[in-house]
Amino acid sequence: MKKDDIKKTIKSAGTFEELLDIKYGKIGTPDRDKFETKVQYFVISELLKAARREENITQEDLAHKIGTKKSFISRIENGNCNIQLSTLYRIFETGLGRRVNVSIG
């Protein structure tokens, strides 16, 4: 598809979901799955940054509290780290004194 055709198709999207379908494919396709994973990493990174800032602690302070390195916290906050659920719990519950709830829909 030519660049102009792609622009027209994107402009024709009526909803955000349609736009995602056009740009990344339908839910369940490899490109869409990759996009959805990146979105989840971004959400986690933003939640972590906000919680850490609310506690008024540095990445280094948080890393020390949970027994890791500042670079690891930085990677998570930048969305560049595939984080295990147990680590997520440790960061939020032990490091930040927050409660983590997981929901599967």
* Residues 51, 65: Cα–Cα separation, whole Å: 14
**Helix (H/G/I), strand (E/B), else coil: 85:** helix
Count of other CB atoms within 10 angstroms of residue 91: 25
Residues 6+ apart with CB under 8 A from 1: 9
Domains and CATH numbers, the chain: 30-95 (1.10.260.40)
Tens-of-pLDDT digits for all 105 residues of the chain? Answer: 666 666 777 778 789 888 888 888 899 999 999 999 889 889 999 999 999 999 999 999 999 999 999 999 999 999 887 888 899 999 999 999 999 888 888
Which tokens belong to 25? 């494919």
CB-CB contact of 62 with 95 (8 Å)? yes
Reference 84, options 27, 70, 63, 92; nearest CA is 92
Q: What is the pLDDT of residue 59?
A: 97
